Amino acid sequence: MERAPSDWQRVLHPGSVALVGASGREGNPMARPLHWLRDRGFTGRVLPVNPRYDELGGLPCYRTLADVPGPVDLVLALVPAERAVATVEEAGAIGAAAVVVFASGFAEVGEEGVQLQTELAAAARRVGVRVLGPNCQGLYVAASRLFATFTAAGERPLEGSSGIAYVGQSGAIGGAVLDVAASRGLDLSAWVSTGNQADVDVTEVGRVLLDDPDVLVLAVYLEALPRPDDYVRLATEARTAGIALVVLRSGRTDGGRRAALSHTGAMLPDTAAFDLVSREHGVVLVDDVEELLAAATLLRSQARPSGRRVAAVTSSGGAGILAADRCADLDLAVDELAEETREKLALRIPAFGAVANPVDVTAQLFNEGGGAFGEVCALVRSDPSVDAVLVILTMLVGDTAHALAVDLAETVAAAPPGAPPLAVVWMAGEDATVAGRGVLRDAGIPVFSSLAVATRVLAAVAPRPAAPAEPAPPDVSGGTRRTSSVSGGPRLPADDGWAALEALGVPVPRSVRVARAADAPAAVDAVGGTAVLKAVAPGLEHKTEAGAVRLGVLAADAEREAADLLRTVSGVQAVLVQEMVRPGVELLVSVDGGRDGWPPVLTVGRGGTETELHRDLAHALAPVSPATARGMLAALRCRPLLDGHRGAPPADVEAAVDAIVRISRASTLLEVNPLVVGTAGAVAVDVLLAHPEDRP
């Protein structure tokens, strides 16, 4: 017996669509869905509902949803916000699968709107109807010719299906994606705008679209971070299905939402955990709509690069140099080609060209025709040291350009499965290269007008260097972890980060806390005769800038220096007398305890008072293995300092690795700056501790 269609099948491939509040006014955007559903190939029933009309667009118009004969799969609510809840309830009463709520005036406008959106979601749950929106622009599905949207981009013919599906929160950005893609001959297979997501969100729609056999790439636009479990499930299912997932995320630079810790609070992106989880699951992250579409175009018909080595092939030496520069900026390697490859290229390229990487074929090669340029690209593409090929064309137009495009398209089609992807940068007017660009597009070869965008896309789709996998590190806390200083216990004093470090087994200097200046000399003697004095005060993060630190204090001077700190530092509660630690390489190590279900993020970088100035940082999901910690250190620009710069003795890297692994296991917000790495050992000489309730 044939299975009944799921609710989502009724939404994406409905047998009937009711349009509540349908309009017959010319020029009204809300009249578009009716006209498009009626005139553009949708084979289901189109049912306008509006008590003001008996007929609309040549179709019978019904007073209410209850008056509509027969079953209704999908309802388009073309009504004001105040009518949306009632429409959802009426849709539930007739057994509709879903309602698309286009109206704005919900959570995006303030408290009253938030309340109305809450009522909308509650009504949907109560009557068993799914809601797309509110404040959305609906959906379009190529296979069913479903134009359940009013976006102006729908005016495009939209007659094909590129294998690229899109889902995103913003209607305006979504409309731009649909329009730009169509203008390039990339009619989307499906397009969905989720708006405020009162019920259905991006991840749910995305997972539904992954089941479409026509979808090869899923492009996603996010404004609000999804629930971590839902996002990981989407990414995992995409990877399992062999469907590339490309994500454009906005709102990534609002550093004001965090600042719980002094240094990392200012420098750690708000979406660091999201970015790291994305990369861990093979998601391609891009920075704008152009890159979103370009990456999707590349991945719908070509393999993803297996590494970050790029070969450039061009007729312009200058263009090749520019390409190499852009690749270097993005950590893409432009390595020497194999000797065998260079020997074969030398037989095809004029002597005044170049067979190194970049490969300069010279303009003369194009005059030879007969597939000569395609042969060169095929040779380069088959070189074992090449993960992607970037073809850079300059002023090639007209018939020569078209013939070249056909040559390249045939070259890509003839390559074995899994061959390195090939992209083209065409530095010539689009109006003079329309035919050639069309040939390349149909062959699944992305065409860029900018080297900068092309190399950014290649960098986005290429894998990130990763440390070798190791088992999770053992518990290195040195005993039972003190819950009160690490997680879940009572609130700690501002300076109890030292207790957290001790519980984690991280080496710290000998320290004595004194409340009276008179006790400072004895404390200095207790920690070794020469000490650092630090004022202890709530919220005192940048101690040096606040004049709250005294270095190299002897016992004879300790009372005077302590008295000065107690007198001059605002809010001071005590003075910490701490053992002087020998100079070494100063690192920043911090872990930001997970929030909103996202995992904690470990940050390692150059430490000291100039941390923000250098911004030399590496991030990873916490906790980390020793291999990952070593990889993070290797990624820092300051790594030569650890190896012994200009004759200095090498630092104890393994001690630093051990401290990093231990700190990464903290389950609250903990920052060590600096961790002083000497020739024998690493010591945390300053620490800040925060708690989940301290975070903005």
Domain boundary among 562, 579, 596: 579
State what percent of residues in the chain have pLDDT above 90: 64
Q: Are residues 190 and 221 in the same domain?
A: yes
Q: Is the pLDDT at 619 greater than 70, yes or no? A: yes
Among 162-166, 333-337, 421-425, 466-470, the least confident range = 466-470
Q: How confident is the model at residue 486 (pLDDT cuts 50, 70, 90)?
A: very low
Per-residue pLDDT, averaged over 465-493, amounts to: 38
Among 271-280, 363-372, 423-432, 602-611, the least confident range = 363-372
Give me the pLDDT at residue 544, please: 72
Give me the pLDDT at residue 356, please: 87
Q: Tell me which residue of 643, 584, 631 sits closest to 604, measured CA to CA.
A: 631
Q: Please, are residues 76 and 146 in contact by the beta-carbon 8 Å criterion?
A: no
Q: Are residues 320 and 260 in the same domain?
A: no
State what percent of residues in the chain have pLDDT above 70: 90
Going across the sheet that includes 359-360, the strands are 359-360, 310-314, 388-393, 422-426, 447-448
Give me the pLDDT at residue 499, please: 87
Query: What is the Cα–Cα distance from 209 to 207, expressed in whole angstroms?
Result: 5
DSSP state, residue 108: G
Residue 3 resides in a domain: yes
Query: What is the Cα–Cα distance from 622 to 591, expressed in whole angstroms?
Result: 7
DSSP state, residue 354: B
Q: Is the pLDDT at 208 greater than 90, yes or no? A: yes
Neighbours of 340 (CB within 10 A): 11
What's the total number of domains in the chain?
5
Per-residue pLDDT, averaged over 400-405, amounts to: 86
In this predicted model, what pLDDT tens digit does every residue of 580-613 receive, in sequence order? 889 999 999 999 867 778 899 999 999 987 777 7
Q: How deeply is 465 buried, as exposed, middle or buried, from its count of CB atoms within 10 A (0-12, 13-18, 19+)?
A: exposed
Q: How confident is the model at residue 465 (pLDDT cuts 50, 70, 90)?
A: low
In this predicted model, what pLDDT tens digit does every residue of 661-690 receive, in sequence order? 999 998 778 899 899 999 999 999 988 887
What are the backbone angles phi and psi of residue 589, rounded to the nearest 5°? -135, 120
Give me the pLDDT at residue 548, please: 85
Q: Is the pLDDT at 263 greater than 70, yes or no? A: no
Q: How confident is the model at residue 67 (pLDDT cuts 50, 70, 90)?
A: very high
Question: What CATH number did the domain enclosing 572 receive?
Answer: 3.30.1490.20
Question: What CATH number did the domain enclosing 660 receive?
Answer: 3.30.470.20
Give me the pLDDT at residue 5, please: 57
Residue 168 resides in a domain: yes
Among 85-99, 401-415, 529-543, the least confident range = 529-543
Cα-based angle 163, 199, 123 (whole degrees, multiple of 5): 140
Q: Please, are residues 670 and 601 in contact by the beta-carbon 8 Å criterion?
A: no
* Secondary structure in 3-state letters for 21-83: CCCCCCCCHHHHHHHHHHHCCCCCEEEEECCCCCEECCEECECCHHHCCCCCCEEEECCCHHH
Give me the pLDDT at residue 626, please: 96
Q: Please, are residues 486 and 492 in contact by the beta-carbon 8 Å criterion?
A: no
Beta bridge partners of 248: 221, 286
Q: Please, are residues 53 and 24 in contact by the beta-carbon 8 Å criterion?
A: yes
Choice between 459 and 614, residue whose per-residue pLDDT is larger: 459
Choice between 365 and 57, residue whose per-residue pLDDT is larger: 57
Give me the pLDDT at residue 404, please: 87
Q: Please, are residues 633 and 656 in contact by the beta-carbon 8 Å criterion?
A: yes
Residue 596 resides in a domain: yes
144-148, 319-323, 605-609: which has the highest mean pLDDT?
144-148
Q: Are residues 336 and 429 in the same domain?
A: yes
Question: What CATH number did the domain enclosing 76 receive?
Answer: 3.40.50.720
Q: Are residues 130 and 23 in the same domain?
A: yes
Q: Strands 55-56 and 59-60, how do they pair?
A: antiparallel
> How many residues are listed for the chain in this entry?
696
Residue 497 resides in a domain: no
Q: Are residues 328 and 249 in the same domain?
A: no
| Whole-number Cα distances in Å, 105 to 28, 98, 121, 490 | 19, 20, 14, 43
Residue 547 resides in a domain: yes
Per-residue pLDDT, averaged over 549-572, amounts to: 90
Give me the pLDDT at residue 470, please: 42
Residue 101 resides in a domain: yes
Question: What CATH number did the domain enclosing 417 receive?
Answer: 3.40.50.261
Q: Is the pLDDT at 148 greater than 70, yes or no? A: yes
Q: How confident is the model at residue 477 (pLDDT cuts 50, 70, 90)?
A: very low
Give me the pLDDT at residue 368, please: 64
Helix residue spans in 94-218 (DSSP H)? 111-127, 171-183, 202-210
Give me the pLDDT at residue 260, please: 37
DSSP for 614-652, written as a single string: H--EEEEESS--HHHHHHHHHTSTTHHHHH-GGGPPPP-
Beta bridge partners of 220: 167, 247
As given in the structure block, the two tokens for residue 217 are 């790439």
Q: Please, are residues 694 and 258 in contact by the beta-carbon 8 Å criterion?
A: no
Q: What number of H helices and E strands is found in the chain? A: 25, 29
Neighbours of 352 (CB within 10 A): 8
Q: Are residues 393 and 381 in the same domain?
A: yes
Q: Are residues 99 and 122 in the same domain?
A: yes
Largest CA distance in the chain: 100
Token pair 């087994």 in the structure block, residue: 505
Q: Is the pLDDT at 494 greater than 90, yes or no? A: no
Give me the pLDDT at residue 317, please: 83
Q: Are residues 295 and 326 in the same domain?
A: no
Domain boundary among 545, 564, 579: 579
Q: How confident is the model at residue 268 (pLDDT cuts 50, 70, 90)?
A: low
Q: Which helix H or strand E contains 606, and what residues bound it?
A: strand 601-606
Per-residue pLDDT, averaged over 249-266, amounts to: 51
Q: Provide the mean pLDDT of the chain.
A: 87
Q: Please, are residues 622 and 684 in contact by the beta-carbon 8 Å criterion?
A: no
**What is the residue range of 325's domain?**
305-461
Give me the pLDDT at residue 259, please: 38
Give me the pLDDT at residue 316, please: 81
Give me the pLDDT at residue 4, please: 47
Which residues, 6+ apart, have CB-to-CB distance to 676 below 8 Å? 581, 582, 583, 584, 585, 586, 587, 682, 683, 684, 685
Give me the pLDDT at residue 467, please: 45
Per-residue pLDDT, averaged over 145-151, amounts to: 96
Q: Are residues 561 and 649 in the same domain?
A: no
Q: How confident is the model at residue 269 (pLDDT cuts 50, 70, 90)?
A: low
Give me the pLDDT at residue 478, please: 37
Residue 538 resides in a domain: yes
- E-only strand ranges, 305-344: 310-314
Q: Are residues 427 and 378 in the same domain?
A: yes
Residue 498 resides in a domain: no
Q: Are residues 128 and 184 in the same domain?
A: no
Give me the pLDDT at residue 307, please: 94
Domain boundary among 285, 304, 323: 304
Give me the pLDDT at residue 468, please: 42
Token pair 């911004």 in the structure block, residue: 615
Q: Is the pLDDT at 350 greater than 60, yes or no? A: yes
Q: Are residues 117 and 196 in the same domain?
A: no
Query: What is the Cα–Cα distance from 147 to 184, expressed in whole angstroms?
Result: 20
Q: Tell me which residue of 358, 284, 280 sits closest to 325, measured CA to CA.
A: 358
Q: Please, are residues 435 and 400 in contact by the beta-carbon 8 Å criterion?
A: no
Per-residue pLDDT, averaged over 221-248, amounts to: 94
